[in-house]
Amino acid sequence: MGSTEHNVVNGDNPVKALRFILSGGGTGGHIYPAIAIANELKKRHPKAEFLFVGAKDRMEMEKVPQAGYTIEGLWITGLQRKLTLKNLMFPIKLISSLFKAGKIVSRFKPDAVVGTGGFASGPLLKVASGRGIPCVLQEQNSYAGITNKLLKDKVAKICVAYDGMEAFFPSEKIVKTGNPVRGDLVTLGKDKKEALDFFGLGMGKPTLLVLGGSLGARRINQLIAQKLDYFKGLGVQVIWQCGKLYFEEYKKFNAEDVKVVDFLNRMDYAYTVGDFIISRAGASSVSELCIVGKPVVFIPSPNVAEDHQTKNAMALVRENAAIMVGEKELDANFDEVFQEMFQSKEKQVQLGDNIRKLAMPNATAAIVDEIEKLIRD
């Protein structure tokens, strides 16, 4: 979209700068798309004002300020599958959050509200849409989250990354844009030595990057702990993002060729040095890895709605763009699968080329185009 259209959106009005509220949280998969959208909006509208709304005590309350944005927290959590005290508190938390969301919307007066999933986006978008404010949902996964499904009739547009989302949302509201990714990944090309120095690793050895998600993946962590001697025997050095929940348990494995971290704040460096990647198959991770274009072994989480991580991974496996090993198959198959990829340069190139073909690097811009259309209309 050109600058002329951007001026139409904000009208060159010296009195009122555009205002945006974004809400998404609980996991990095909801937070980073929201930040990417905010960054693109800010690039197009430098005078715009931004406010994030998250759930108190969740990771967005830390990560959003680190990205340079203000955030307010709602007292909200999701329903537990079992009957617990938390579930009994849910109606009270929901009423509290709706009340606070109403106050936030009244005070901030947004021109548009964007929800990327997570508990806090429910009360916020319900209030905003009820007041006629243009609202956009961004659904990352092939299987829609409960908050977004509940909001489907209230919002104006729903941006998705997969075909077949008419199963969850009204078809006339769906726009296939792909998933937003961090801007520094789209222009990946960092100096490899600089990136290795950042992690305290040396040149000349292949590097394995292990990604278990922002909170961590128990089964992947168990696998890596068991395979460190195996990787050492292959001459592989490891960057192991074990997750916040598991860092205390696994930090003892830190060594000259093994760097254990709870969270990777410099994903651009991590992707630059990773010659091979082991990852969960959450939607945001898959979108990023398509852009990064490195050989990937997906180990999907089996503990997600409708096993959607396996479906995400299989979409790439069918295109010969990635390898997948299920959690139950790790003990029997992992060594053989990894070694086959490690020893074949041809296989590595093939996987890298094929996964890059599936990238949608303009997703963030496409989503912001939709937001601007709503404001204009």
Binding residues for UDP-N-acetyl-alpha-D-glucosamine: 27-29, 141, 182, 214, 309
Q: Taking the CA of residue 255 as centre, how many other CA atoms within 13 Å lie in the half-sphere pointing to its CB?
A: 12
Provide the edge-to-edge strand list for the sheet that holds 276-279: 258-261, 237-241, 207-211, 276-279, 296-298, 323-324
3-state DSSP of the chain: CCHHHHHHHHCCCCCCCCEEEEECCCCHHHHHHHHHHHHHHHHHCCCCEEEEEEECCCCHHHHHHHCCCCEEEECCCCCCCCCCHHHHHHHHHHHHHHHHHHHHHHHHCCCEEEECCCCCHHHHHHHHHHCCCCEEEEECCCCCCHHHHHHCCCCCEEEECCCCHHHCCCHHHEEECCCCCCHHHHCCCCCHHHHHHHHCCCCCCCEEEEECCCCCCHHHHHHHHHHHHHHHHHCCEEEEECCCCCHHHHHHHCECCEEEECCCCCHHHHHHHCCEEEECCCHHHHHHHHHHCCCEEECCCCCCHHHHHHHHHHHHHCCCCCEECCHHHHHHHHHHHHHHHHHCHHHHHHHHHHHHHCCCCCHHHHHHHHHHHHHHC
List the binding residues. 27-29, 141, 182, 214, 309
Query: Rounded to 5 degrees, what angle do the CA atoms 342, 295, 289 make?
Result: 155
Residue type present at position 44: R
Tokens 């406010």, located at residue: 51
CB 67, CB 265: distance < 8 Å: no
